Amino acid sequence: MRHLHCEFKKVKNQGFGDYSILARRGASFIKAQLSLSPSKHYGQDYTMVYKSIISRSLLLVGILFTAHALTTSAFGAQFLGGPSIRVNPNTSIEFEWITDVAWYGKVEIFSSPDGTPASLVATKKSEDILGATIALAQQTVTMNVVSVITPDTTFYFRVTAWDPTGSTGDLIMPAPLPPFFTGAQAIANVRTDSVTTTGATVSWQSNVIGFGKVTFGTPTQTVQDAFNITDHAIDLTGLTPGTAYQFIISNKHAIDGDDLVTATGQLTTAQPVTDVVFTQPQAEPRVIQKGLSSLVSIKALSHGIPVAGVLVTFAIDPSSEGGGTLSSGQAVTDFNGVASVQFTPSVSGVVRVNISASNATNSPFKIPVVVR
């Protein structure tokens, strides 16, 4: 049987006026307010005033708790936090969860995520120090890594909460069940994808469930999700173009908020894309003999201003009458906007060098070299 505790608090005036009522039964709360005005029946008899408050309050609280009980019976309980785990590597695992009402609870360990009876490894109820099952809204169950719960092993867990009165269906975590690893907690496969001038997506995998969190930048910024899972992908926005960022990723305890496992990484945002025009094509010398070489170059301009950092691709046109080799297939424009490669001829005739860049409006561009 649960005891009902009521607290009455004067809101204003003395004796008469507004009163707030706070009632608690188990983990459930009811708060209400009533007004009491002087009348010919009470006069200034405060004893009668308080008796009236108590009788009216208990009636109101009884009505409210009846409605609350009917609602709970109709819809059952729900998880408000977790279930979360904290692993002391190869020693113990702490399971924690919060429900919206005080119910009994237990943790079951399985060898497979489907949670079938055949894969059941261990079970433990939430109990007090005397071994009696206890009903609480926030439950913690600790299981040791011994015997069937072996070290450095992946298992799966299920939390079940049930009504002490037996009037409502159980609250059970659905399959597939979340995993946990009894050994060291770790993060792997850290990746940065979809990198743009102002954003990127950071993803990773872990062996412990928790909310995903990324901390980065100066001043420090934090982005996190609300998915209590092992693997995460989080978008970073508002970054500065062409800037290197160091970041820390973590899986965060869904109830306590502390980092369960962390890892570091870095990314560099893309440079802004500027449209350029190829100008001043050069082949120096333009006419060469076999055994010599020619410097083939191009200049990239934007509104007449040289643009550095443009990635330029050089390739010999396969339809050329002559032939030869290039020292490199790519070059980046310098602070003068110039990119160049060496051409070494091998076959007489006209050799056309194709030059292109993704942001060049007159790409591809051709530079002919005559091989004697």
pLDDT band at 272 (very low <50, low <70, confident <90, very high): confident
- Bond preceding residue 364 cis, omega within 30 of 0: yes
User: 3-class SS at 142?
Assistant: strand
- Domain shared by 35 and 59, yes or no: yes
Residue 120 token pair: 């059941």
User: For the segment 312-342, what is each residue's pLDDT rounded down to a tens digit?
Assistant: 999 999 999 999 999 999 999 999 999 999 9
Number of domains in the chain: 4
Cα of 33 vs its chain's centroid, Å: 42
Cα of 54 vs its chain's centroid, Å: 50
- Domain shared by 25 and 110, yes or no: no
With 70 as the cut, is the pLDDT of residue 51 above it?
A: no
User: 3-class SS at 42?
Assistant: coil
Indicate the DSSP class of residue 26: T
Q: What are phi and psi of 75, to 5 degrees?
A: -115, -10
Q: Are 175 and 157 in contact (CB under 8 A)?
A: no
Indicate the DSSP class of residue 54: H
With 70 as the cut, is the pLDDT of residue 41 above it?
A: no
With 70 as the cut, is the pLDDT of residue 34 above it?
A: no
- Domain shared by 355 and 301, yes or no: yes
Q: Are 126 and 161 in contact (CB under 8 A)?
A: no
> Which amino acid is it at 368?
P
Residue 158 token pair: 């299920």
- Domain shared by 176 and 92, yes or no: yes
Burial label, 40 (beta-carbon count in 10 A; 0-12, 13-18, 19+):
exposed
Last residue of a domain, which of 52, 75, 98?
A: 75
User: For the segment 105-138, what is each residue's pLDDT rounded down to a tens digit?
Assistant: 999 999 999 999 999 999 999 999 899 999 999 9
User: 3-class SS at 48?
Assistant: helix
How far is Cα 86 from Cα 353, in angstroms, rounded to an integer?
62
Last residue of a domain, which of 245, 268, 291?
A: 268
* pTM (global) more than 0.75: no
- Domain shared by 57 and 115, yes or no: no
Q: Are 157 and 105 in contact (CB under 8 A)?
A: no
- Domain shared by 197 and 262, yes or no: yes
With 60 as the cut, is the pLDDT of residue 291 above it?
A: yes
How far is Cα 138 from Cα 132, in angstroms, rounded to an integer?
16
Q: Which of 77, 59, 84 is nearest to 254 (CA)?
A: 84
Measured from the Cβ of residue 284, the count of other Cβ atoms closer than 10 Å reads 11
- Domain shared by 243 and 289, yes or no: no
Report percent pLDDT > 70 for the chain: 80
- Domain shared by 301 and 358, yes or no: yes
How far is Cα 330 from Cα 19, in angstroms, rounded to an integer?
81
- Domain shared by 166 and 218, yes or no: no
- Domain shared by 299 and 352, yes or no: yes
- Domain shared by 304 and 344, yes or no: yes
- Domain harbouring 222, CATH code: 2.60.40.10
Q: Are 320 and 350 in contact (CB under 8 A)?
A: yes
- Domain shared by 154 and 242, yes or no: no
* Whole-number average pLDDT of the chain: 85
User: For the segment 137-190, what is each residue's pLDDT rounded down to a tens digit?
Assistant: 999 999 999 989 999 999 999 999 999 999 889 999 999 999 999 999 999 999
With 80 as the cut, is the pLDDT of residue 352 above it?
A: yes
Q: Are 210 and 233 in contact (CB under 8 A)?
A: no
Q: Are strands 365-371 and 287-288 parallel, antiparallel or unpaired?
A: parallel
Last residue of a domain, which of 27, 42, 75?
A: 75
Range of the domain at 343: 277-371
Mean pLDDT of 47-58: 52
